[in-house]
Amino acid sequence: MFQDDIRAAIDLGTTKVSAIVGKQRDDGTVQALGFGSAASQGMPRGVISDQAQVTEATRAALAAAEKDAGVSIRTAYIGLGGSHIESRNQWTRVPNTGVSVVTQGDVDRALAIARSEAATGGGQLLHVLPRTYALDGIYGVRNPLGMHASEMYIQTHVITGAKDSIAGLKGAVEATGLRVGGAIVQMVAAAEASLSPQEKDDGVVLVDIGGGTTDLAVFYEGTIVHTTVMPVGGWQFTNDLVQAFNTGHEEAERLKVTHGAAIPAVRGAADEISVNSSGMEQPLAITRRELSQLIHDRAKEMLEMVRLKLQTPHLRDVQLNRIVLTGGGAKLDGFQALTRATFQGKVRTAVPKEIENLPAERQDPAFTATVGLLLWGMRNLPKEAHVGIRKAAAASDAGAFDRVKGWFSARRTAPQHRTPVGAGKSVS
């Protein structure tokens, strides 16, 4: 087993941190070697609020993955999400070099020029993904290699994020002693592990429902054309139940997962459920229909927000009634059926694919982005060794970590979950 074949990835979410270790074989296939996860509460809507808590969850998830894989990890890819993520599409002119055959060097140069231009647009540059080319006024060229042209333009999809938010996330990971080998936007990663080439070609909307955010990615003619982040996710469903039944978060989460549904008219809707409600001596009795009506209202609102986010001019030629759901929130009973009724199209729920040896309990929509981070990094980032011993100082200086933890805990006075609904945006 060659060490430079082994890579790791860490998915930092609102409710959990997940880590995966995998090996890429010579034929390009990927095998999962180890997996770990830990609960996290330090990142509401993808933005650090308690860096020390995120660091501790990252350390726990990574330790579990290392033990499972039987290796030590010093470098890992990390996932980026949150309502600070923005995107746009841009055309870039490649300087004229005379009539010639387009080579791989020309394509690489075009992408480098596009990246340089994108870097001047504000925010921290995360991805510059090629979409299409125009050669001598002919648009819609998907692969220009071998074609003759005197003038070339490249269209790219540019994804950026807030520098402070990204720095905070990297800092939380690096405090474990890890080196960040690359930052990958979570919706891009989720697409890598869930969408088929045919879906990307025909036109598809990926809806990744996490704990604090819902990520959207639209693909058409084989490439990504639209991304955006909505600052609502599974946490809002749970919080609705907390408010409605005056109960704790854990009890509300139990109700949602065990008895909840996105469609009220489900089998057993009249069945009574006991709720441990604050301030009441006896449990509160509700019906499953009452519970599911609350969940339905929030789910319907979320899907209408998705519809609004897709009403943008550069998507007018894309069929938007093919929906792929993933993320932990996609597992909600009845959500797929409600999505199908809302968009009147084809809807499926995706679990991670294109990876071997993934444990059955990880073949779950909640881990699609985690697997996708590993796959996308292996396929698109430079090959490097992730196996090795982490920096000892970051892992062993408990006193420094406690001081950092205390400092961040003292600053947790601002209310969480107050990001404006329209914070994530996508422009053409």
* pLDDT tens track for 28-43: 899 999 999 999 887 7
Reply yes or no on whether the pLDDT at 426 is more than 80.
no
User: What DSSP character marks residue 5?
Assistant: G
The answer to whether 21 and 31 have CB atoms below 8 angstroms apart is no
What are the pLDDT digits (tens) for 286-295? 999 999 999 9
Amino acid at 11: D
3-state DSSP assignment of residue 65: helix
- What does the pLDDT average to over 129-136? 95
Query: What phi and psi values does residue 312 have, to the nearest 5 degrees?
Result: -135, 145
Residues 314, 317, 320, CA angle at the centre, nearest 5°? 95
Copy the structure tokens of residue 103: 């080579």
The answer to whether 134 and 179 have CB atoms below 8 angstroms apart is no
pLDDT band at 396 (very low <50, low <70, confident <90, very high): very low
pLDDT at 279: 75
Torsion of CA 106, 196, 362, 54, to 10 degrees: 40
pLDDT band at 416 (very low <50, low <70, confident <90, very high): very low
Residue 164, C-beta contacts closer than 8 angstroms, at least 6 positions apart: none
d(CA 288, CA 262): 11
Higher pLDDT, 390 or 401: 390
Q: Closest Cα to residue 231, out of 85, 367, 364, 350?
A: 85
The answer to whether 36 and 65 have CB atoms below 8 angstroms apart is yes
What are the pLDDT digits (tens) for 139-188? 999 999 999 999 999 999 999 999 998 999 999 999 999 999 999 999 99
pTM reported for the whole predicted model: 0.87
pLDDT band at 198 (very low <50, low <70, confident <90, very high): very high
Copy the structure tokens of residue 164: 């402070």
6-12 vs 16-24, strand pairing mode: antiparallel
CA atoms within 13 A on the CB side of 249: 6
- Helix pair 335-343, 288-309: axis angle to 10 deg: 40
d(CA 427, CA 86): 8
pLDDT at 390: 87
What are the pLDDT digits (tens) for 330-365? 999 999 999 999 999 999 999 999 999 999 999 999
DSSP H helices, 131-286, are 163-174, 186-194, 197-202, 234-245, 249-259
pLDDT at 265: 75
pLDDT band at 422 (very low <50, low <70, confident <90, very high): very low
Sign of the alpha-carbon torsion through 133, 139, 142, 143: negative
pLDDT band at 47 (very low <50, low <70, confident <90, very high): confident
Count CB atoms within 10 A of the CB of residue 87: 26
The answer to whether 24 and 377 have CB atoms below 8 angstroms apart is no
- What does the pLDDT average to over 295-312? 95
pLDDT at 46: 66
Helix %, strand %, coil % of the chain (to 5)? 40, 30, 35
Amino acid at 339: T
pLDDT at 414: 39
Name residue 349's beta-bridge partners: 325
Domains of the chain: 1-84+163-195+365-428 (3.30.420.40), 88-161 (3.30.1490.110), 196-349 (3.30.420.40)
pLDDT at 401: 41
If phi > 0 it is left, if psi is from -120 to 50 it is alpha, else beta; for residue 139 that is beta
d(CA 233, CA 326): 12
